[in-house]
């Protein structure tokens, strides 16, 4: 579904769409997400890395639940994810696919294919809709690793922004109703997927530049979120920004992120729970977000009072 358009795109995307509408997402996932967040936080003791201890395992668990995948440990899936995403980032920089990335995808293929026979899974429904095993696996991989990356990045980036802007954190603590807008502001300022590649489907002139059909167009979602013609003082983190939601972190049009409602639900549940930890504080060794294609802190080291 990531690389096709028109009817072919619909044939791959539609079998996966039904569980990810806003109302259905809230109905199916609110309880399981909140339970998973509570369990993960209960297992942590300060100091802790919330990327490794919360954001990563939560995103893996919820994606696996949403697709109906066979059980696998979060650590195993994250190992596959790391190998594949590192390989994809390398390809974007002009390097070949890594052996580790290729092996991880083979293991992922075997894991997803094993769940196709489940009568009530989303991947089984996609196969019943006419997609072949390789097509089901490819689409499940798009959803798995898109869901893992965006959710892990959204949670860690939002927490990093709040914990490095105490005045903004105070506003959210005083009015928890600001948390959803703070999430959108974090997405605008530091989207988890900072750059996406697209191919032009027809000849077009854009801002005085000629783009030919088939040309690769690299789009900076991070740059769009800091457009000074759209966002006043675009480099500032402002949880009360009135147009924060105008970001393009989930893209737009037919290829808009399929799981955007689910990843928002996960982020709000996780960050809301973390902000309840007493005397929560970011440790000095916690790094800032980084990365060319995917952006997030490599660790989110925090402590709190027990």
Distance from chain centroid for Cα 213: 29
Residue 32's CB is within 10 A of a number of other CB atoms, namely 13
Question: 137 near 108, Cβ under 8 Å?
Answer: yes
The rounded distance, in Å, linking the Cα atoms of 137 and 135 is 5
The pLDDT of 25-42, averaged and rounded, is 95
Question: What is the pLDDT, as a whole number, of residue 82?
Answer: 81
The rounded distance, in Å, linking the Cα atoms of 60 and 76 is 10
Six-digit token string for 115: 């769940």
The rounded distance, in Å, linking the Cα atoms of 260 and 25 is 10
Six-digit token string for 66: 């949403």
Question: What is the pLDDT, as a whole number, of residue 120?
Answer: 67
Mean of the per-residue pLDDT values for the chain?
Answer: 90
Report residue 165: phi and psi, to 5°. Answer: -130, 80
Six-digit token string for 140: 């499940």
C-alpha separations of 112 from 43, 118, 141, 144, 154 in Å: 28, 11, 9, 10, 25
Cα angle vertex 259, ends 231, 185, to 5°?
20
Choice between 177 and 4, residue whose per-residue pLDDT is larger: 177
Percent of the chain topping pLDDT 90: 58
Weakest-pLDDT range from 55-69, 183-197, 205-219: 55-69
- Sheet containing 48-49: give its strands across: 48-49, 301-303, 281-282
Q: What does the pLDDT look like over 213-259, one tens digit per residue?
A: 999 999 999 999 999 999 999 999 999 999 999 999 998 888 888 89
Q: What does the pLDDT look like over 119-131, one tens digit per residue?
A: 567 888 888 888 8
Owner of token pair 């650590």: 75
Rg for the chain (alpha carbons), in Å?
A: 19
**DSSP character for 194?**
-
Q: What does the pLDDT look like over 38-71, one tens digit per residue?
A: 999 999 999 999 999 999 999 989 988 888 777 7
Verify cis geometry, omega within 30 degrees of 0, for the bond prior to 47: yes
Weakest-pLDDT range from 70-84, 159-173, 182-196: 70-84
Choice between 280 and 87, residue whose per-residue pLDDT is larger: 280
Question: What is the pLDDT, as a whole number, of residue 179?
Answer: 98
Distance from chain centroid for Cα 6: 25
Which is it for strands 195-199 and 48-49: parallel, antiparallel or unpaired? unpaired
Q: Which domains does the chain have, with CATH numbers?
A: 6-194+257-303 (1.10.630.10)
The pLDDT of 82-101, averaged and rounded, is 84
Beta bridge partner(s), residue 196: 219
Question: What is the pLDDT, as a whole number, of residue 119?
Answer: 57
| 110 Cβ neighbours under 8 A, 6+ residues apart | none
Q: What does the pLDDT look like over 148-178, one tens digit per residue?
A: 888 999 999 999 999 999 999 999 999 999 9
Question: What is the pLDDT, as a whole number, of residue 84?
Answer: 83
């Amino acid at each position: 579904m990531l690389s096709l358009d028109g009817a072919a795109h619909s044939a791959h995307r539609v079998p996966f769409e039904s569980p990810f509408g806003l109302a259905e997402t809230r109905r199916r996932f609110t309880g399981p997400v909140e339970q998973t967040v509570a369990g993960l936080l209960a297992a942590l003791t300060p100091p802790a890395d919330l990327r490794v201890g919360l954001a990563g395992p939560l995103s893996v668990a919820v994606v696996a639940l949403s697709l109906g995948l066979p059980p696998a440990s979060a650590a195993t899936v994250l190992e596959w994810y790391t190998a594949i995403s590192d390989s994809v980032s390398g390809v974007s920089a002009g390097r070949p696919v890594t052996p580790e990335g290729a092996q991880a995808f083979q293991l992922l293929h075997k894991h997803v294919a094993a769940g196709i026979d489940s009568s009530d899974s989303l991947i089984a429904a996609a196969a019943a809709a006419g997609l072949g095993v390789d097509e089901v696996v490819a689409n499940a991989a798009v959803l798995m690793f898109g869901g893992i990356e965006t959710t892990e990045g959204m949670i860690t980036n939002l927490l990093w922004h709040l914990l490095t802007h105490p005045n903004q954190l105070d506003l959210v603590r005083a009015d928890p109703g600001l948390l959803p807008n703070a999430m959108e502001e974090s997405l605008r300022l530091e989207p988890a997927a900072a750059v996406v590649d697209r191919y032009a489907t027809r000849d077009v002139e854009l801002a005085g530049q000629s783009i030919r059909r088939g040309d690769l167009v690299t789009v900076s979602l991070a740059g769009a979120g800091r457009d000074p013609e759209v966002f006043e003082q675009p480099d500032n983190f402002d949880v009360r920004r009135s147009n924060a939601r105008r970001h393009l972190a989930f893209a737009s049009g037919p290829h808009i992120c399929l799981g955007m409602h689910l990843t928002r639900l996960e982020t709000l549940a996780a960050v809301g729970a973390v902000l309840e930890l007493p005397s929560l504080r970011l440790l000095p060794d916690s790094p800032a977000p980084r990365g060319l294609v995917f952006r997030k802190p490599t660790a989110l080291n925090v402590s709190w009072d027990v």
